[in-house]
Structure 1
Amino acid sequence: MTVPNFNGIAPGSKKRKRVAVDESTSRRKSAPNGVPVVTKAVILRPAPKQKRPTESPSDDEDDDEDGDESGSDVEDILAVRQAEMLQLEGEIVSAKTAQARTKGLGTLLEQLKDESEEIAIMTAVGLCRTFCRLMSRGQLVRHKDHSPEQLRMVKEGKEAYINYLGGLGHLLQSGEGTSLKLGMRLLKEESIHMKPSEDYYFPFLSYGVIIKHLLQSDSSDLVNVFATEYVYEYSDLRFEFLKAIPNISKEVTPSNTTYSENLFSILYDLKNIPSTSEELADSKLYIDPPSKKKHPLFQFAIHQRQFQDAWLALLSRPLPSKQRDILTILPKRIIPHFPNPRLLMDYLTDTYNSGGVTALLALQGLFNLMMSHNLDYPNFFPKLYALLNRDLMHVKYRSRFFRLLELFLNSSHLPAILVASFIKRLARLCLSAPPSAIVIVIPFAYNLMRLHPTCTFMLHRVLGKEGYSEKMRQEGFIDPFNEEEEDPMKTGALESSLWELETLQSHYHPNVATLAKILSEQFTKQQYGIEDFLDHSYTSMLDAEMTKKLYKDPVVEYIVPKKIFFAAEAQSNEGAVPAPENMLLEFWDFE
């Protein structure tokens, strides 16, 4: 008799009938010596009901009685199934022939597909208990002195165990929490009783089935339990998890966003990774440790490689909603643990093409590789220069952009011709920028010119110290700056002037006009703190105006008229002013 196969079952193909059962219905049963203790579902039957008086019960009472009887029927069915299962488990363990054992396992595996969720879970617990007993007795491992019948029993028992893992995986995929505990318990028992030798053995095939189905589960809570209680807690489970991800990712289609998001949630919160081999040797293990100290489990370089391969497998999948989160943690939590960070170059380059703040964060990752890992990326500054557009001055991530821009350009080793292009482009953007953005650009340009004194000649020309302002007043003047050039080294900005910033001294907003005057004074201040200007917005500027103390009343009009648009004469401070009888008739000429 062949046992049922779960490989062809799609998750959620059958809607299980949910039956509410209290947690107190599960307890531990003491097992005989040598048999592992496994949680067993026990159905607690209610006490007998007392007969009510037969005097004309109401409709509500009838409904309550019907509900109680229905609940009692369900519990009776579960109690009968439980008793049958316990008897069947004993027959499977004590079976002497392969046919008898396969028949019993097949019956339980069929019950695992029952539409009732309670029966399916109860069957899963019973099968877990059965296979643990078979493992502890060595009845799933081949030996040289086995007879042909015993070898057949071992073979068919393993096939049934594989099918059971598949059924357990589908319960995991449907979000059933009990199946996770059963799978992890089987993992430990298999590592103890099914070793091919006396050395360390980790059942990676069974662990892979658990991971694959769990990551395709819609239950984020179950994924979080698996991550916090197992992956983050035990070094060997984390190692094997990272090792299994590349192969599993190849089997799961890229369009499966549930798998990608669950994998992202586990890797994103993966912290406190050991940084030395000594830390690995002292880390907590779920399976008994190997005897060899040079085992891959204790080698830090191999852990790094598995971490790198797992992240690359995730980054190769489409996950646009999580790009910003990944790029944010990339410099400090991902790149330091990569043995070869250059492998991220293609990912960062492709991410840059999406534009916006995502492109900026991608450049931040490339900048980190350039500074910390000697990455040669000659297109970095042209790509950064291309992000300076009119939209930049109005978007919500403007503050983050200027923080990173200051980080990228805050080096005296950069050529002045390159820095001049960034200053000139920002000055040009100020012509159409809101005041909240202009107050950031002015001190930012000041700091760059203070760091690169050659760029101050752009100010000298517009202020008339080299006669450039006279040329600007001549008709037909052409600015040498090429705004359409994409290469910041070829824009001609250093030969131009900052007339855009000079015009800000007569800006309508008093804060902008006052701040722009620092460019006409001597550069005595070392630098301005950009953080003091980044939080300016229309709201903050309006609040400042509304809360500002007034020492005298503002002048609204030089002469305040007493009346406006009236039928009689209007009396003003200068005398009588006749008013038309009908203002609308004055706008028409009927001749």
Structure 2
Amino acid sequence: MVEKLTLSSLNLKMSTKSIIAEVNKKAAEFIADRRNSNNAIDVISFCQHGKTPVVLAAIEGLQNIFTTAISSAQLKRNLSNDDSSKLPPEEQYKIWLNGCYTDAKKQLLSMCSTGEPKIQLILIALLSHTRVNDELITLYRTYLEYADVLFNTMELVTSILNKETKKNDVFLHNVYHLIQDLTLPKTLKEDRSKSGKAFLTFKPENGEAKSCRADEHKKCFSTLYLTFLSQKLSASLYKKVLISIHDKIMPRMANPLLLADFLTESYNIGGAISLLALNGLFILINNYNLDYPDFYGKLYQLLEPSVFHVKYSARFFHLLNLFLSSTHLPGYLVAAFIKRLARLGLTAPPAALTIVVPFIYNLTRRHPSCSVLIHRAETTDGFASDPFIMTENDPSKCRALESSLWELQTLQSHYYYIVSIDSRQLEQVLPKLETDLSDILETSIDDLVKKENSKKYKLNSVPVTFDPPKGLFGAKDCPFNDMWSL
């Protein structure tokens, strides 16, 4: 007599690892051979196991079984059970498998209300390690308008991040897509609770119910994001977070200063990461009194030739203009930025120069103490006698205020006439109003080419050579002159 497989017999005779291996084996056998279809019933029964690792293995097994069945057209919905015995065997099998799918779905849905975070089916499925679930997560996010669903989701995702060991890029992408741009309730009336009082949530640690008010959402949100930001993020995901941190994360934090370590570390990395960390860090300094005395020194060091070629160049110059807008900044500091920009302009592409030159003049108008750089323009012999130290990373030691803007005199001979015209303002009285940079920050080389191509030039003649041609190829004794004539 063959002993019938039951959960109780497995508990007595097999270890947890052995049971998990048995679950995985049965799921694999089902997928490999249709003769093992009854294995689906056994895998469903494992969902009632008392140990969480076994339940998780059963959930994954059911996912593999029914994903395979659906993709191979073995599973079809809306099949009638009437007189199934009269149907062909293939149709009978589909009806039976559809019943198994219904039983599995009921079993899994019942687990969603257990309060145990490790077997919260929906989040486990959404935060996959192997598949990007953007569409499914977007659908799930529609339920996050309910305060209780939102709060439980944030707590459970935090718990998963703390306990999960396989945190690959796909998993972290799914997590970020789920938690990005969360909208927190502002008042008790936005709890979506009938009484307007606190609603019940579950503790991730033990599943016990606890009371929660709407003002606790910020604390939960803060914990969630601090946990997420402590993960090893890919470069692309890192940049996405930094782009949105000032308007989608910081305002929802219980204490935005908790982001100081993350932002300062990002600011010190260099390159595009540093550029994107600028905004959030400046907000902490300006609005939350973060003490960062070396902010402008680091900002000065970001002015490298590559700044004109990165994807976020326009964003950087917008922020740079904002950071240098205060009239209380010391003259030596602003002069250092002016000189470094002017020196970089000598090798910058024309699209960048259409921004840099007006930017320099704006800074000079804004800070009259720097006008000496313009008035001293004719007293130096350019690079040879320039006291400015380009290689000095400390703006207080680069001797910018002792220098002049001879670089703009050089740019007056630039091949692009717009740059040449802008640079000639050096010889004129600067207007009192600053140039509006908002319209030119996004200028690219393609924009300049399209602009020039759209113009209609009226030219009567175009000189193409200095000397009149003497023959087809220029030489008088060329043999082709006997065969061809101009």
TM-score band by shorter chain is 0.7 to 0.9
Does 2:432 correspond to 1:517? Answer: no
Q: Pick from 242, 261, 265 the counterpart of residue 327 of structure 1.
A: 242
Does 2:104 correspond to 1:124? Answer: yes
Is this contact kept in 2: 1:348–1:366, CA < 8 A? yes
Q: TM-score, normalised by structure 2?
A: 0.76
Other-structure match for 1:74? 93
SS of alignment partner, residue 385 of structure 2: coil
Distance 2:288 2:295 in 1: 15
Other-structure match for 1:258? 170
Does 2:420 correspond to 1:440? Answer: no
Amino acid at match of 1:392: V
Is this contact kept in 1: 2:362–2:434, CA < 8 A? yes
Other-structure match for 1:453? 368
Runs of 4+ more than 6 Å apart: 286-289
Does 2:293 correspond to 1:242? Answer: no
Other-structure match for 1:304? 218
Is this contact kept in 2: 1:45–1:75, CA < 8 A? no
Report the Cα offset of residue 335 of structure 1: 0.9
Report the Cα offset of residue 119 of structure 1: 5.4
Is this contact kept in 1: 2:218–2:252, CA < 8 A? yes
Q: Pick from 288, 293, 306 the counterpart of residue 378 of structure 1.
A: 293
Other-structure match for 1:478? 385
Other-structure match for 1:18? 69
Query: Structure 1 pair 447/296, CA: closer, same or farther in 2 (3 Å)?
Result: farther
Query: Structure 1 pair 405/522, CA: closer, same or farther in 2 (3 Å)?
Result: same
Distance 1:487 1:342 in 2: 27
Query: How do 1:225-374 residues align onto structure 2 when only pairs under 5 Å count?
Result: 225-229=139-143, 232-253=144-165, 255-271=167-183, 273-275=184-186, 279-285=187-193, 296-300=211-215, 302-320=216-234, 321-374=236-289
Distance 1:259 1:287 in 2: 38
Query: How do 1:372-411 residues align onto structure 2 when only pairs under 5 Å count?
Result: 372-411=287-326
Distance 1:526 1:397 in 2: 27
Is this contact kept in 2: 1:254–1:317, CA < 8 A? no
SS of alignment partner, residue 534 of structure 1: coil
Distance 1:531 1:352 in 2: 25
Name structure 2 gaps, 5 residues minimum. 1-6, 12-45, 201-209, 482-486
Distance 1:239 1:552 in 2: 70
Report the Cα offset of residue 287 of structure 1: 12
Is this contact kept in 1: 2:350–2:416, CA < 8 A? yes
Query: Structure 1 pair 245/505, CA: closer, same or farther in 2 (3 Å)?
Result: same
Distance 2:390 2:455 in 1: 40
Query: How do 1:210-221 residues align onto structure 2 when only pairs under 5 Å count?
Result: 210-212=122-124, 214-216=126-128, 218=131, 219-221=133-135
Report the Cα offset of residue 518 of structure 1: 1.2
Query: How do 1:37-116 residues align onto structure 2 when only pairs under 5 Å count?
Result: 43=81, 69-75=88-94, 78=96
Does 2:61 correspond to 1:7? Answer: no
Distance 2:351 2:190 in 1: 54
Report the Cα offset of residue 368 of structure 1: 0.9
SS of alignment partner, residue 413 of structure 1: coil
Is this contact kept in 2: 1:183–1:210, CA < 8 A? no
Report the Cα offset of residue 46 of structure 1: 6.0
SS of alignment partner, residue 371 of structure 2: helix
SS of alignment partner, residue 410 of structure 1: coil
Superposition RMSD in Å = 3.2
Distance 2:302 2:275 in 1: 8
Q: What are the superposed Cα offsets for residues 446-494 of structure 1, whole Å, 9 maximum, x if unpaired?
A: 11000101111011111x3xxx23xx28xx9432111111111221111
Report the Cα offset of residue 385 of structure 1: 1.1
Query: Structure 1 pair 242/75, CA: closer, same or farther in 2 (3 Å)?
Result: closer
Give the greater-gyration-radius structure (CA): 1
Amino acid at match of 2:176: F
Q: What are the superposed Cα offsets for residues 173-210 of structure 1, whole Å, 9 maximum, x if unpaired?
A: xxxxxx5xx555xx2xx6xxxxxxxxxxxx36577565
Distance 2:76 2:212 in 1: 41
Q: What are the superposed Cα offsets for residues 241-272 of structure 1, whole Å, 9 maximum, x if unpaired?
A: 2223333212102633333222111111423x
Is this contact kept in 1: 2:257–2:290, CA < 8 A? yes
Name structure 1 gaps, 5 residues minimum. 26-41, 50-68, 79-115, 129-167, 169-178, 191-202, 571-577, 584-591
Distance 1:205 1:12 in 2: 16
Query: How do 1:173-212 residues align onto structure 2 when only pairs under 5 Å count?
Result: 179=109, 183-184=111-112, 187=113, 203=115, 205=117, 210-212=122-124
Q: TM-score, normalised by structure 1?
A: 0.63
Query: Structure 1 pair 291/429, CA: closer, same or farther in 2 (3 Å)?
Result: closer
Distance 2:393 2:281 in 1: 19
Distance 2:468 2:85 in 1: 93
Query: Structure 1 pair 395/209, CA: closer, same or farther in 2 (3 Å)?
Result: closer
Amino acid at match of 1:309: T
Compare 519-528 and 423-432 and name the one that shifted more: 519-528
Q: Count how many residue pairs are aligned between Structure 1 and Structure 2.
A: 414
Q: Taking every aligned residue pair, what percent have the same amino acid on both sides?
A: 34
Distance 1:480 1:120 in 2: 83
